[in-house]
Amino acid sequence: MAVVTWGLLEKSLVDDETIEEAINRLIQAHDDDETAHLETGQSLQSHKASEIIDHIARSIVPDKLRFRIFSVSPTTDGFNQSVTSGNSIIGGLFWTEFRIQSLDDENLCLLFSDLDLLGSDWDNDEIYFETVAKATSGGGYKVKYKVGIGEAGIYNYEGIEESFPGIGFFFNCDTKKIYAYYVNSANQIVAEEIVSSFSFVYYKLGIELIGGVLKFYLNDTLVWTPASPTFGSVPKNTSVIFAGSDYRYDTKGGTVLFALRYLSYSQPSPF
């Protein structure tokens, strides 16, 4: 008696497609359907909507991640310091404090990472930077505190040469103003006032740079989007994190303080 293989049978008297061919065709159609399993309660939709996606330990390797995170809070671990005599950087329990105490006109009170966090492709990559910072002195103290990313260079701003990282914020402790800024391709500081008279409270400051589009945030509110910014070559050498001050050009006594709760750099932006 002949053995009949079920899968090789035709589906019907009017359709010569075999059962096996029909099964393969339907499976392939399902595989090709990009909307498969996306209905509510189905597997891909549940995976997509899960707050936490569980994977086997070590099953995701670093080169498959499209973001990087680097942060400091509240200590100075992992950062280089450059501090001249009479000044100090103190990593406290809840903040990192910068103290400009010297009356000399060349002060260094800087904190910076020594890692190449991103590279130089600022026009195509995604960058997000955030910090929570405050100045605790203001009015008559001719000191600028800067926080930002990018290799710092010396630039002439308002007649004074100082160090500025490529993109960031600075607190002017003389006028009590806060500015967002970037260094353009002509190596000039392009700045926008975002706080006209700062209080001695923490401000949340954020930067988003995606495909060359630059945005600045204050307390989670978009405050400035420069039109078609072009960036200087020096800042783009490396995306280090930079914080601190390098100048004091008055003789007023007292300590000028600046405090950071954290510095955070990541890719892509959470905004």
216 φ, ψ to 5°? -120, 140
143 φ, ψ to 5°? -135, 140
68 within some domain? yes
Is 232 within 8 Å of 109 (Cβ atoms)? no
Residues 252 and 169 placed together within one structural domain of the fold: yes
71 within some domain? yes
Residues 72 and 34 placed together within one structural domain of the fold: no
226 within some domain? yes
Range(s) of the domain holding residue 24: 6-49
- pLDDT exceeding 70 applies to what percent of the chain? 65
CA distance 181 to 188: 10
Residues 72 and 32 placed together within one structural domain of the fold: no
| DSSP helix/strand/coil, 81 | strand
> How many other C-beta atoms lie within 10 A of the C-beta of residue 156?
11
56 within some domain? no
Q: Going residue by residue through the chain (271 aa), what tens digit of pLDDT does each one get?
A: 566 677 677 777 778 888 888 888 888 888 888 777 777 777 767 666 666 666 665 555 544 444 444 454 445 666 777 777 777 777 766 677 777 766 666 677 777 776 555 455 566 667 788 888 888 776 677 788 888 888 778 888 888 888 888 899 999 888 899 999 999 989 899 999 999 999 989 899 998 888 788 999 999 999 999 998 888 776 655 556 777 787 666 656 566 777 776 566 555 444 4
